[in-house]
Every structure is written in structure tokens, then in C-alpha cells.
Homo-oligomer: A and B are copies of this chain.
């Protein structure tokens, strides 16, 4: 498996915290299928770096700093996944790819993708060009334009219409 990042851990901590706080080494270990002893080391490091509050045998809770990163990372994940699903990537793969890409992507790219998702979701059922893309993806053919009025505009299948 790819080297796990701080982001991975605070994200997971954030999710587990919702059910039970504080989160113990075993909770993480069982989810990630790693040894509890390894989690202890990770907790010590995250604690040192100010992402969690951790005391021996006491489990961990995210600090503000940690929570901030967790939320930001989850937001990135969510946007990436939404974007990939728009493109037609399967749920599971979208989720896995989002999980990997979220740790490496530049803020500018995230901003563009965020706006793109917003732009697409503005149209109920997606904009018409997206249907055309899907048709193209399946068949390799481009749909010829047959429109004559606004109502059929392939761009403006607009929520407010």
C-alpha cells in the first residue's frame, strides 16, 4: 500500500470520532489492518505535531489544527469523487481515486474542479453536453445539432426552467 499521510489519519480520526471519542489505537488498527503498535507510534507523532491530543492508554482526539485538515481533506475528497462520477467513473473507483488524488493535487486544480462540479450540478440531470459526452464515450460518435430554440439548448437544461 501507498505510504499513508497525516491527512489519511486525521480524516479517519475525524470519522471515527463521530461514533466514539476518544479514538483508540485498536480502532484505527482494525480499520487499516495494521498493527496496534504501529498506531501507537503514529499517535505519538501526530500528538507531537499538534494534530491530536493523545495520552498513553487514553486514545486520541483531534485538535483544532487536526480537525481543520480533516475537514479540508474530506472536502477535497468529496469534490474529486463528485467530479469523477460526473465523468462516468464507477462509484467505487471514484472513491478510491479520490482518496489517492486528494493528497497530491494542487489547490488551483481543486478550485477549478470545485467550480466545474458546481457548474455541472447547476443543471438538473446534468447539462445536455454531458449526455453528448456519454453518448460519445459509448459510441465514439458525436451527436449532430438539431436545435432551433432555447428550450432545447443542449447547454441550458437549466434548473430554473
Taking a contact as CB atoms under 8 Å apart, the answer to whether B129 and A109 are in contact is: no
Taking a contact as CB atoms under 8 Å apart, the answer to whether A115 and B100 are in contact is: no
Give every chain B residue within 8 A of A129 (Cβ-Cβ): 127, 129, 154-155
Contact of A155 with B156 at beta-carbon distance under 8 Å, contacts A108-B89, A136-B119 already known: no
In the docked arrangement, what's the CA distance between A104 and B100, Å?
Answer: 6
Residues 138-155 of chain A, each 1 if its beta carbon lies under 8 Å from chain B, else 0 = 000010111111100111
In the docked arrangement, what's the CA distance between A144 and B153, Å?
Answer: 10
Give every chain B residue within 8 A of A89 (Cβ-Cβ): 106, 108-109, 112
Name the residue on B nearest A2 (C-beta): B104
Q: Name A's B-contacting residues (CB within 8 A).
A: 2-3, 84, 87-90, 93-94, 96-97, 100-101, 104-106, 108-109, 112-113, 115-116, 118-119, 122, 127-129, 132-133, 136-137, 142, 144-150, 153-156, 158
26 contacts between A and B (CB under 8 A): A3-B3, A84-B109, A84-B112, A88-B112, A89-B106, A89-B108, A93-B106, A93-B108, A101-B101, A101-B104, A115-B133, A118-B136, A119-B132, A119-B136, A119-B137, A129-B129, A129-B154, A144-B156, A145-B156, A145-B158, A147-B149, A148-B148, A148-B150, A153-B153, A154-B154, A155-B155
